[in-house]
C-alpha cells in the first residue's frame, strides 16, 4: 500500500483557532477532552501568553493542566442528559480571568445534543462579551470555520462607526495555524510602516478585542491569506461598506509576490511603495550574494526538485517563486484546500512550465524530491524513507524545533529565510 494523504483539520479547529488568535479572548470548549488537548497545546505553542508551563498550575476543573481551551470534559452521560451544569461552572471560573471576549464552542458531538449555550451565557451575566458557536461544522474546510467564527465575533462586538484613518489598513487572513505567523505579521507591519501605512486590526492572529472594535477606522481591508479572509472581507463590505483588496498573486511570500502585494496595497491607500520596495531590494541583494556563491560551487538550486503542499494563497506564489526565481522544478504540488481560488492560476502555471503532472501528484518513491515544502508532518514523511530530503516548513503541524527568534515566512526577510532554508538543505545533500 502507498501512503494515504494526510488528513487536514476542518472547520471545528478553524473556529477554535480563530478565537484563540485574539490575544485577550478565550475559547471555552463544550466537549470532551479529546477535542481539547490538541487545540490547547497548539494555541499555547503558537501564541504563548502566560508564564512558564507548569501543568500543576492549571489543575482546576476544566483546564487539565493546560492554560488554554478549558473544556467541559463531556462523557457518555453528558451526551444523554446534557451538561449545562458544567458550562455554568466553567463560565463562572472564566469570568474571573479577565478575558475581554469569551467564545463557547460546541465540539462536534456536543453540537448534536443541543445544549442551550445562549441560555447559559445569559444566565452567567458576564461583563465580557460572550458568544456561542453552536455548530462548528462537520468536515467543512478549516477556513470556513475560521471565517465563520470571526464573523460571529465581529457581530457580537458590533464595532461602532469611526472616522476613517488615512493609510490605515486591517490585515485579514492571519491565523495561529500559519507557521511563523507572528514573525510574518511583524515583517508586514514593518514594510507597510516604511510606506507610511499603519495596521489597525489583524483578523485574527495577534489582534486584540479593542483593535477589532476599532476595525472600522481602517481605509481598506487587505487580505494576506485569501482563503482565511475572503468571505469575511466581502461580508465587512456588505455590512459596513469597507473596501477590501485581494492581491493578485496571493500572499506576499518570496520577493516577487511581496513587491506586487506592497505595490497593490500602497495603490489602494494612495501611499508611496518606494521605501518598502527599497527594503525588498536590499534583501534581494543579500539573497543574490548567497545564491550566486552557492550556485557557483554546486550549480544549485537550479534544477533541484521540490514537492510542495500548502494552502492556495501560499502555494501559488511559492511555486512561481521557487520555479522562476530559484530555478527549481516541481514534482508535486498539492493544496490543503482544493476549493481555493488559486487552483486555476496554479494549474495554469504548472502547464505553462511543462509540469502539469505535478498537480496533485503523490510523493513518488521512485523519484525523491530534493526539497519538501510544507508541514513538518510532510517533511518527516518524506524523510522516513531514509532519503536525504531538505525540508522547508511553511505550514503546521510543526516539528520539535523550538523557535526562539521569531521567524518570518512573508515579506522581504521571509524570502531571505526561505532562501537560507533551501540553500542549507541542499548544501547538506551535496555534502
Partner 1 sequence: MRIALYGKGGIGKSTIAANLAAAFAMRGRTVLQIGCDPKHDSTRLLLDGRRATTVLEYLRDTPPAQRRLADVVYRGYGGVACVEAGGPEPGVGCAGRGILSAFALLDQLGLDSTAFDVALYDVLGDVVCGGFAVPLRAGYADVVCIVSSEEFMAIYAANNILRGVRNFEQAGAQVAGLILNSRGAHESPAGVQRFAQAVELPILATLPRSELFRVAEQQGKTVVEAFAASSEAAGLFGLADALLARPPLWPARPLDDEGLEQVVLGNAWQAPGGAAPGQATNGGKSQESTSGSPGVLDAIAPGDEEATADRQPLLASSHHRRTNGTAEDQQPTSDALPIPAHGAAYVSKFARGGAPPVTPAAPTSATGVHFLSKSVLFREPLHGCAFSGAVGTVTHIQDAIVIAHGPRSCANLAGQTLQSSGIHTLYREGIAIPEQLAPNLLSSDMDEAASIYGGAEPLRATLRRALDRRPQAIFLAGTCPAGIIGDDLRQIAADAAGEAGAVPLIPLTTDGNMAGDYMQGVINACIEGAGALVDPRCPPEDNLVNIVAEKNIATNTEPNMREVTRLLEQLGLRVNCRFVRRTSVEALRGLLKAPLNLLAYNDHLGRVLQAFLVERFGATFARQPFPVGFSETVDWLHELAAFFGRPQRAEAVIAQARSDYLRSIEHIRTGLAGRRLMIVTYNHDIDWVVESALDAGMDLVKVGILNSIEDHGFRTRYNGQFAVETGYTPDQRDADIGRFAPHLLLSSYTPAGAILPLHCDTIPLCPDVGFFSGLRLVQRWATLLKAPIYEGWRNDHVLVASDHA
Residues 189, 377, 420, 427: which binds partner 1 (CB under 8 A)? Answer: 377
Q: Does 401 bind partner 1 (CB under 8 A)?
A: yes
Q: With respect to partner 1, which residue has the nearer C-beta, 8 or 190? A: 8
* Helices 84-95 & 117-124 angle (0-180, nearest 10): 40
Binding mask 334-373 for partner 1 (x = CB under 8 A): ----------------------------------------
Smallest gap from Cβ 77 to partner 1, in A, equals 5
The torsion region of residue 327 among left (phi > 0), alpha (psi -120 to 50) and beta comes to: left
Name residues contacting partner 1, limited to 81-110 (CB under 8 A): 81-82, 84, 97, 107-109
Smallest gap from Cβ 10 to partner 1, in A, equals 4
Residues 295, 329, 381, 429: which binds partner 1 (CB under 8 A)? Answer: 381
Contacts of 140 (CB under 8 A, 6+ apart): 10, 11
Question: Hunting for cell 445562549 — which residue is that?
Answer: 118
In whole angstroms, give the CA distance from residue 258 to residue 417: 14
Residues 20, 46, 78, 418: which binds partner 1 (CB under 8 A)? Answer: 78
In whole angstroms, give the CA distance from residue 328 to residue 353: 11
Residues 20, 21, 115, 236: which binds partner 1 (CB under 8 A)? Answer: 115
In whole angstroms, give the CA distance from residue 340 to residue 325: 24
CA angle 288, 291, 294 (to 5 degrees): 145
Interface region with partner 1, contact rule CB under 8 A, candidates 182-190, 279-287, 354-362, 395-403: 395-403
Cell triple for residue 247?
492581491
CA 50 to each of CA 24, 66, 158, 191, 399: distance values in angstroms, whole numbers, following the listed order: 11, 11, 28, 29, 22
Smallest gap from Cβ 134 to partner 1, in A, equals 13
Name residues contacting partner 1, limited to 299-338 (CB under 8 A): none
Sheet holding 25-30, edge to edge: 25-30, 101-106, 130-133
Q: Does 9 bind partner 1 (CB under 8 A)?
A: yes
Residues 327, 341, 397, 420: which binds partner 1 (CB under 8 A)? Answer: 397
Residues 73, 255, 261, 325: which binds partner 1 (CB under 8 A)? Answer: 73
Residues 73 and 62: beta-carbon distance below 8 Å: yes
Residues 341, 383, 420, 429: which binds partner 1 (CB under 8 A)? Answer: 383
Name residues contacting partner 1, limited to 29-68 (CB under 8 A): 32-35, 37-38, 49-60, 63-64, 67
Residues 259 and 188: beta-carbon distance below 8 Å: no
Query: Phi, psi at residue 163, to the nearest 5°?
Result: -60, 135
Smallest gap from Cβ 76 to partner 1, in A, equals 4
Q: Does 282 bind partner 1 (CB under 8 A)?
A: no
Binding mask 234-273 for partner 1 (x = CB under 8 A): ----------------------------------------
Q: H helices of 66-198, where?
A: 76-81, 84-95, 108-113, 117-124, 142-157, 181-194
Smallest gap from Cβ 314 to partner 1, in A, equals 19
* Helices 411-430 & 255-269 angle (0-180, nearest 10): 180
Binding site for partner 1 (CB under 8 A): 1, 3-4, 6-13, 32-35, 37-38, 49-60, 63-64, 67, 70, 73-82, 84, 97, 107-109, 112-115, 136-140, 376-377, 380-381, 383-386, 397, 399-401
Amino acid at each position: 500500500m502507498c501512503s494515504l494523504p494526510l488528513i487536514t483539520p476542518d472547520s471545528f479547529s478553524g473556529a477554535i483557532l480563530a478565537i484563540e488568535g485574539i490575544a485577550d479572548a478565550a475559547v471555552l470548549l463544550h466537549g470532551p477532552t479529546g477535542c481539547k488537548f490538541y487545540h490547547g497545546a497548539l494555541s499555547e505553542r503558537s501564541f504563548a501568553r502566560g508564564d512558564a508551563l507548569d501543568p500543576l498550575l492549571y489543575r482546576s476543573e476544566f483546564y487539565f493542566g493546560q492554560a488554554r481551551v478549558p473544556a467541559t470534559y463531556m462523557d457518555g452521560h453528558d451526551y444523554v442528559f446534557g451538561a449545562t451544569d458544567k458550562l455554568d461552572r466553567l463560565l463562572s471560573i472564566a469570568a474571573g480571568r479577565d478575558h475581554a471576549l469569551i467564545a463557547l464552542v460546541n465540539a462536534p458531538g456536543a453540537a448534536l445534543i443541543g445544549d442551550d449555550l445562549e441560555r447559559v451565557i445569559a444566565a452567567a451575566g458576564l461583563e465580557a462579551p460572550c458568544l456561542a458557536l453552536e455548530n462548528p461544522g462537520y468536515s467543512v474546510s478549516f477556513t470556513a470555520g475560521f471565517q465563520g467564527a470571526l464573523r460571529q465575533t465581529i457581530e457580537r462586538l458590533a464595532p461602532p462607526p469611526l472616522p476613517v484613518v488615512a493609510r490605515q489598513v486591517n490585515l485579514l487572513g492571519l491565523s495561529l495555524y500559519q507557521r511563523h505567523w507572528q514573525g510574518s505579521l511583524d515583517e508586514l507591519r514593518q514594510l507597510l510602516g516604511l510606506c507610511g501605512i499603519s495596521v489597525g486590526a489583524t483578523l485574527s492572529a495577534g489582534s486584540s478585542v479593542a483593535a477589532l472594535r476599532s476595525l472600522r477606522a481602517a481605509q481598506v481591508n487587505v487580505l494576506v491569506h485569501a482563503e482565511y479572509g475572503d468571505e469575511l472581507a466581502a461580508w465587512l463590505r456588505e455590512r459596513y461598506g469597507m473596501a477590501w483588496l485581494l492581491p493578485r498573486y496571493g500572499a506576499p511570500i518570496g520577493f516577487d509576490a511581496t513587491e506586487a502585494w506592497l505595490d497593490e496595497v500602497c495603490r489602494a491607500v494612495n501611499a508611496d511603495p518606494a521605501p518598502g520596495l527599497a527594503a525588498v531590494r536590499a534583501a534581494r541583494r543579500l539573497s543574490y550574494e548567497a545564491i550566486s556563491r552557492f550556485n557557483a560551487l554546486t550549480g544549485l538550486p537550479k534544477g533541484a526538485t521540490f514537492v510542495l503542499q500548502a494552502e492556495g494563497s501560499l502555494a501559488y506564489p511559492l511555486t512561481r517563486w521557487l520555479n522562476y526565481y530559484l530555478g527549481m522544478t516541481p514534482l508535486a504540488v498539492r493544496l490543503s484546500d482544493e476549493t481555493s481560488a488559486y487552483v486555476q492560476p496554479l494549474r495554469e502555471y504548472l502547464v505553462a512550465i511543462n509540469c502539469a503532472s505535478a498537480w496533485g501528484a503523490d510523493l513518488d518513491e521512485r523519484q525523491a524530491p530534493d526539497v519538501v515544502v510544507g508541514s513538518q508532518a510532510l517533511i518527516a514523511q518524506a524523510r522516513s524513507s531514509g532519503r536525504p530530503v531538505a525540508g522547508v516548513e511553511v505550514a503546521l503541524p510543526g516539528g520539535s524545533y523550538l523557535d526562539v527568534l521569531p521567524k518570518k515566512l512573508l515579506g522581504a526577510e521571509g524570502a531571505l529565510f526561505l532562501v537560507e532554508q533551501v540553500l542549507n538543505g541542499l548544501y547538506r545533500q551535496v555534502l
